[in-house]
Structure 1
Amino acid sequence: LSGVLSQDGDRRSLTDEFAERLDADRERLPEVARRAAERYPDEPYREKLRLMRERLDRVGGIRPGGYGSEAALLADLDAIDADLRANGAGVVADTYVEPLSRRVETFGFGLASLDLRDHRENHTEAVAEVLAVEGIDYRGLDEAERVRLLSDAMTQDEPVIDLGAATREGLSDTAARVLELFDRLGEWQREYGSDAIDTYCISMTEEASHVLEVCFLAEQAGVIDLDGHSGLDVVPLFETEHALAEAGTILGTLLSNDAYRANVAARNGVQEAMIGYSDSGKENGFLAANWDLYCTQRRLARVAERENVTLRLFHGRGGSISRGGGPMNEALLALPTETVSGQVKFTEQGESIAEKYANPRIAERELEQMIDAQLRARHRALDDGNDDGSEEDGGEEGDRDSENGGGEDGNRGGDGSRGGGGELPEEWIDAMDEMAAAARAEYRDLLESKGFVPYFEQATPITVIEELNLGSRPASRTGERTVEDLRAIPWVFAWTQSRCIVTGWYALATGIDAYLRNGDMGVLQEMYDEWPFFRTTIDNAALALARTDMEIAAEYAAMADPDLRERFFGRLHDEYDRGVSLVTSIAGREGLVDREWLRESLRRRNPYVDPLNLLQIELLDAEGLDAERERTLRLTVKGIAAGMKNTG
């Protein structure tokens, strides 16, 4: 800007706002102002910009005078913009100043906002240990007593605990790390601005006290206070079946708590809540998990409306359909109408970032699709679902061919009519309840069947995946070999490698069959045509079925003990066959995929992936691999992942 805004101050008059801001900077930085005035005599814009640059250099440092927030920088830019327009230079303001203002609004001082996330048990441990110094047995308290204690502590004028060095002596490594994190959080916000790190997610939240513990620690560390200021959104992450079922109750308890409500008020009355797709899918299977998540969102929305706060849902979606992935625009349109507030957050997996955002044109298309879906969903919510039902463009082929961001069906039938907004027909809800219950029972029966874990170990490359350095977290939480202990990513990854993607369709057929014993296929077809959620669920399952190859899967199953293979592979194959038949019947098409380009993509890709699968099977079945063959085995995992366009 300094190279452009060289207007002479003698030939024009400054607006009062600009003049006041220039004088304020001269007083704030007198020595810098003296040098700037000498270098830029009668050039007020350049003088002001030199002072602004100095203030930027001092942000987060020990020298005084730096900008306290990006809002202060934006106010200076706005003053320059207004001054230019007042003096007939609106074109200059539009061309040079406004684009910079938009960048400041978008990126602030920190480029991108970061979230902090930790497991609820670590916070509980830290709170228990520091309160023990005060003679309080926190772990011995029940939930109501914990909530009352934490709330009272946050409303006192003075901190109830001394978090100094003396208090921290003798603390466990876990507690010490948590306390240090809150210390550093305050430092980071002062250095980079409060918006740079403004969200704290609590994984495995199952009680209101798990959220209040973070508020308590943040308040004691000075990151938040209850007098109108807060630098932190405290976000519960609901992941397990129990947590999802109780999410509405937990949020209601929090929002009726005066101490917690004060923090929400200080965050502009916005309550963010995160829902996890990965663990719920692994715990209950594809269909039941999708329905649980949908119902949870509706319950949270009802609580937020009752308590008069704005709900912002944070969707913890994985890369694969099995973990909540799929076309983002369809996912946004499939959200419950009452949750569409105009604000939404979601995770993007590392595996999909390059595919979606490395190419500027594809990145722009992704953004267009997301904005389009959010706007249409918001319009539908405001208009109570009175949509015209017109066909929508399914998007460019390049961004639709993967479980990370693709699907085969575009936005069939627009937003839907009856399912798009307002109250859902009871007939549909009853159908989903029945299908989800039957699917959950079948899925859990599979996982809990004797011998299933050994079969999983023998018929997939899970042992190789556990040794690969492909993720940010270990494959299992405790090192035990159980499905419950295994993290969702390796669970999905292993099945995908074996081409038997049970995580994306198993028990779907059982659930549908249970409904059809007394129900009507016509109702399911109506739900598919008119309810975006159900259509997206069926279409995502269809894609997972289409990418499954039971012939290759049979070769993996052949590595398992014959008794295990006979018990489990036939069961999986039967569910697959029935799933294909039922999904195509519901969708009213002959094949799983009705987009020619996607069928062609799968047809062309499979011949390159199949040999890698066969080579992997040969190496997995061999004994005593040397270093070169071990390396080859690892390469097959990466090659198959590239061919399937998915890790987990």
Structure 2
Amino acid sequence: EPYRLAVSGIYARLAATATRLEIDSVRAPVGEAEPYDSVHAFKADLDAIHHSLVSTNAVVIARGRLRRLRRAIDCFGFHLASLDMRQNSAVHERTMTELIDAAHPGKSYAAMTEDQRVALLTAELRSARPLTSLFVKYSDETVGELAVFRQAAVAHATYGARSIPQCIISMTKGVSDLLEAAVLLKEAGLLGPTGRSAINIVPLFETIEDLQACAKIMDRLLGIPEYRRLVDSRGGVQEVMLGYSDSNKDGGFVTSGWELYKAEIGLIEVFEHHGVRLRLFHGRGGSVGRGGGPSYDAIVAQPGGAVNGQIRITEQGEIITSKYSNREVGRNNLEILAAATLEASLLQPKRVAPNADYLEAMEQLSALAFKAYRGLVYETEGFVEYFWASTVINEIATLNIGSRPASRKKTKAIEDLRAIPWVFSWAQCRLMLPGWYGFGSAVEAWVVQHPDKGVAFLRAMYQEWPFFRTLLSNMDMVLSKSALGIASRYAELVQDEELREKIFGRIRTEWHASIDSLLAIMGHDRLLQGNPLLERSIRHRFPYLDPLNHVQVQLLREHRTHDPDEQVLRGIQLTINGISAGLRNSG
């Protein structure tokens, strides 16, 4: 009877809470009660019942449905799922420009230097007055951005702070990018005048240049008292997100992986110096070109001190389906992530750096691979035309597979292309170029420059250094899914024969060189020799996959006539889905 009365009272408060949140209750409560102020009060009531059951030797009951409900409350609270806010730094810059110019006539925020911006923004953080005014008419973009932050404040008041815990600034390029977000949080009431913040501000470093600068940016940022108070109010933890997609598109697979690794080492040193705990957020995609690959190997291969008990990673839609649609498979994958995090945190020495010779060799290989990749993608005349003609980039844009257009701007430039369609297009034509290009020529050039070390040195480096081993293992998997013969059929879609042979010839040469170098370093005779299960799986998929590529090429020819047929486009879309399913981690 005491438990029945307690549960009835709890349900009455829960029903009142549901009414406040405009959610229909499953059944009417026995009586009226005040709604819960927070999910913590609800959890406290359930905990009281749990402790009472345990104290009266009713542990069997406590470990039943009550235990599952308490666990659900821990995970979901009243908000169900936590959401991150995310916006490009350029949008925040335009918003802040308009706000500053209206509040400080005569000042031009856009014309200010970085130091001037930092000084102005920190002064705004110290000021108690609002920056916005009801008497100023702002642009639609500025009104929309302010509305997003204010709606986040409403969500916090309604569902609790865990409903929106992060504000991510993509394309972070300087200290002012994060201070701009802090000022916007202040305008919405999510950051108080004392520096106490209700939301974490998370920089996202994406391009090669930004990854190289991220340690200096965070060092300066954490040295600003106004921002440091914000970090301290969040438990002394600062999250930093690292982007795998744009860094790959910018510098190629080898350089992207290496610059990410170096960025982590630099961040670890900076955060130790400031006494702030670092939580890395890895923006990994499904494909190897966007940071994909075995999660366990990726976590264990992080530099010492990078994991430190916690890590965040993104999982793409196609990967979520394959990893978590089945309960047992999902549990196994979560156990793998937990095991890797524990191993990386507890078993890897934090202070022991990799062999200095390995670091130097990797730096040189990265520079050579970067030169080869940039030489093809950004410095070869006609490459853009070749890419748009020989891949399904135009047709991918017609699929409902993403929330954003293929390009950030209305151009065909590679710089403006989003990373997902870039990688996805190369996967469809079976070249998988973002996952290997530049490696072969880099190794060949490095061996010529270091005849005293040669491939034997790189083989030792592969065997002893987890980072290099994981890099090559992922490349091994990508190359095993490529098919040069099928790719040549897509190249035939390029009308300019001279352009076609010039670019595809370079790709073909680099493909052979990359495979030869990879096998020589790994000491294998064939691709995936060290992973027979995956080798068999891919081999069994090819008889179903290859015909889809040939059908797709023919449909592309028909669709790109002057009188395209909607049914033909529908056929292309079906082949895109089929090839993606067969390749699995394709985008």
> Which residue is 1:489 aligned to?
420
Q: CA deviation at 1:228?
A: 6.4
Given that 2:308 and 2:344 are in contact with CA atoms closer than 8 Å, whether structure 1 keeps it comes out as no
Q: Separation in 2 of the partners of 1:202 and 1:64?
A: 42
- Relative to structure 1, the CA distance from residue 248 to residue 47 in structure 2 (aligned partners, 3 Å threshold; closer, same or farther) is same
Q: Equivalent residues in 2 for 1:468-507 (5 A)?
A: 468-507=399-438
Say which of 347, 355, 366 aligns to 1:436.
366
> Which residue is 2:14 aligned to?
53
Matched, 1:564 2:494: no
Matched, 1:310 2:280: no
Q: Equivalent residues in 2 for 1:330-369 (5 A)?
A: 330-369=297-336
| Aligned-partner SS, 1:112 | coil
Matched, 1:84 2:19: no
> Which residue is 2:512 aligned to?
577
Q: CA deviation at 1:227?
A: 3.1
Q: Separation in 1 of the partners of 2:271 and 2:35?
A: 39
Matched, 1:586 2:586: no
Q: Separation in 2 of the partners of 1:183 and 1:552?
A: 52
Q: Separation in 1 of the partners of 2:525 and 2:328?
A: 34
Say which of 477, 483, 500 aligns to 1:549.
483
Matched, 1:643 2:577: no
More divergent stretch after superposition (606-615 vs 431-440):
606-615
Matched, 1:138 2:106: no
Q: Separation in 2 of the partners of 1:47 and 1:540?
A: 56
Q: Separation in 1 of the partners of 2:508 and 2:224?
A: 51
Name the amino acid aligned to 2:118.
Answer: V
Q: Separation in 1 of the partners of 2:193 and 2:277?
A: 19
Q: Equivalent residues in 2 for 1:202-601 (5 A)?
A: 202-227=169-194, 229-381=196-348, 384=349, 422-447=352-377, 448-517=379-448, 518=450, 519-560=453-494, 561-594=496-529, 595-601=531-537
Matched, 1:153 2:124: yes
Say which of 61, 66, 74 aligns to 2:35.
66
Q: Separation in 1 of the partners of 2:42 and 2:196?
A: 21
Q: CA deviation at 1:137?
A: 2.2
Q: CA deviation at 1:466?
A: 2.8
Q: CA deviation at 1:7?
A: 4.0
Given that 1:277 and 1:316 are in contact with CA atoms closer than 8 Å, whether structure 2 keeps it comes out as yes
Name the amino acid aligned to 1:45.
Answer: A
Given that 1:225 and 1:263 are in contact with CA atoms closer than 8 Å, whether structure 2 keeps it comes out as no
Could you list the runs of 4 or more consecutive aligned residues of structure 1 that deviate by over 6 angstroms after TM superposition?
61-64
Deviation digits for residues 507-526 of structure 1 (CA, Å, limit 9, x no counterpart): 01122222212033222222
Matched, 1:128 2:92: no
> Which residue is 2:62 aligned to?
93
Q: CA deviation at 1:47?
A: 4.6
Deviation digits for residues 372-407 of structure 1 (CA, Å, limit 9, x no counterpart): 1111111123xx27xxxxxxxxxxxxxxxxxxxxxx
Name the amino acid aligned to 2:554.
Answer: E
Given that 1:68 and 1:193 are in contact with CA atoms closer than 8 Å, whether structure 2 keeps it comes out as no
Q: Separation in 1 of the partners of 2:10 and 2:265?
A: 50
Q: CA deviation at 1:99?
A: 3.0
Unpaired runs of 5+ residues, structure 2, are 24-31
Q: CA deviation at 1:198?
A: 0.9
- Relative to structure 1, the CA distance from residue 55 to residue 311 in structure 2 (aligned partners, 3 Å threshold; closer, same or farther) is farther
Given that 2:196 and 2:229 are in contact with CA atoms closer than 8 Å, whether structure 1 keeps it comes out as no
Given that 2:13 and 2:34 are in contact with CA atoms closer than 8 Å, whether structure 1 keeps it comes out as no
| Aligned-partner SS, 1:337 | coil
More divergent stretch after superposition (230-239 vs 217-226):
217-226
Identity of aligned residues (%): 38
- Relative to structure 1, the CA distance from residue 52 to residue 481 in structure 2 (aligned partners, 3 Å threshold; closer, same or farther) is same
Name the amino acid aligned to 1:83.
Answer: S
Unpaired runs of 5+ residues, structure 1, are 1-5, 9-42, 386-420
| Aligned-partner SS, 2:278 | strand
Q: How many residues align?
A: 568
Q: Separation in 1 of the partners of 2:98 and 2:389?
A: 44
Name the amino acid aligned to 1:99.
Answer: R
> Which residue is 2:29 aligned to?
none
Given that 1:317 and 1:323 are in contact with CA atoms closer than 8 Å, whether structure 2 keeps it comes out as yes
> Which residue is 1:395 aligned to?
none
Q: CA deviation at 1:620?
A: 2.0
Q: CA deviation at 1:547?
A: 0.6
Q: Separation in 1 of the partners of 2:397 and 2:289?
A: 19
Q: Separation in 1 of the partners of 2:219 and 2:366?
A: 26
Given that 2:195 and 2:226 are in contact with CA atoms closer than 8 Å, whether structure 1 keeps it comes out as no
- Relative to structure 1, the CA distance from residue 131 to residue 601 in structure 2 (aligned partners, 3 Å threshold; closer, same or farther) is same
| Aligned-partner SS, 2:87 | strand
Q: CA deviation at 1:204?
A: 0.5
Q: CA deviation at 1:617?
A: 1.4
Q: Separation in 2 of the partners of 1:175 and 1:130?
A: 8
Q: CA deviation at 1:639?
A: 1.8
Q: Which has the larger radius of gyration?
A: 1
Given that 1:202 and 1:236 are in contact with CA atoms closer than 8 Å, whether structure 2 keeps it comes out as yes
Deviation digits for residues 294-330 of structure 1 (CA, Å, limit 9, x no counterpart): 1011111111111111101111111100111111111
Q: CA deviation at 1:425?
A: 1.0
Q: Normalization by structure 1: what TM-score?
A: 0.84
Q: Separation in 1 of the partners of 2:82 and 2:150?
A: 18
- Relative to structure 1, the CA distance from residue 54 to residue 627 in structure 2 (aligned partners, 3 Å threshold; closer, same or farther) is closer
Q: CA deviation at 1:499?
A: 0.7
Deviation digits for residues 93-123 of structure 1 (CA, Å, limit 9, x no counterpart): 3334333222211222212211010111111
Q: CA deviation at 1:44?
A: 4.4
Q: CA deviation at 1:470?
A: 2.0
> Which residue is 2:567 aligned to?
628
Q: Separation in 1 of the partners of 2:436 and 2:429?
A: 15
| Aligned-partner SS, 2:162 | coil
Given that 2:126 and 2:193 are in contact with CA atoms closer than 8 Å, whether structure 1 keeps it comes out as yes
Name the amino acid aligned to 1:46.
Answer: V
Q: CA deviation at 1:58?
A: 5.2
Q: CA deviation at 1:286?
A: 0.4
Q: CA deviation at 1:48?
A: 3.7
Deviation digits for residues 197-252 of structure 1 (CA, Å, limit 9, x no counterpart): 11010010001000000101101221122536321000000001221111001111
Q: Separation in 1 of the partners of 2:546 and 2:18?
A: 56
Q: Normalization by structure 2: what TM-score?
A: 0.93
| Aligned-partner SS, 1:343 | coil
Given that 1:524 and 1:586 are in contact with CA atoms closer than 8 Å, whether structure 2 keeps it comes out as yes
Deviation digits for residues 62-83 of structure 1 (CA, Å, limit 9, x no counterpart): 9994323322222222222223
> Which residue is 2:166 aligned to?
199
> Which residue is 1:119 aligned to?
88
Q: Separation in 1 of the partners of 2:318 and 2:187?
A: 38
- Relative to structure 1, the CA distance from residue 142 to residue 601 in structure 2 (aligned partners, 3 Å threshold; closer, same or farther) is same
Given that 2:237 and 2:277 are in contact with CA atoms closer than 8 Å, whether structure 1 keeps it comes out as yes
Q: Separation in 1 of the partners of 2:492 and 2:93?
A: 47
- Relative to structure 1, the CA distance from residue 217 to residue 596 in structure 2 (aligned partners, 3 Å threshold; closer, same or farther) is same
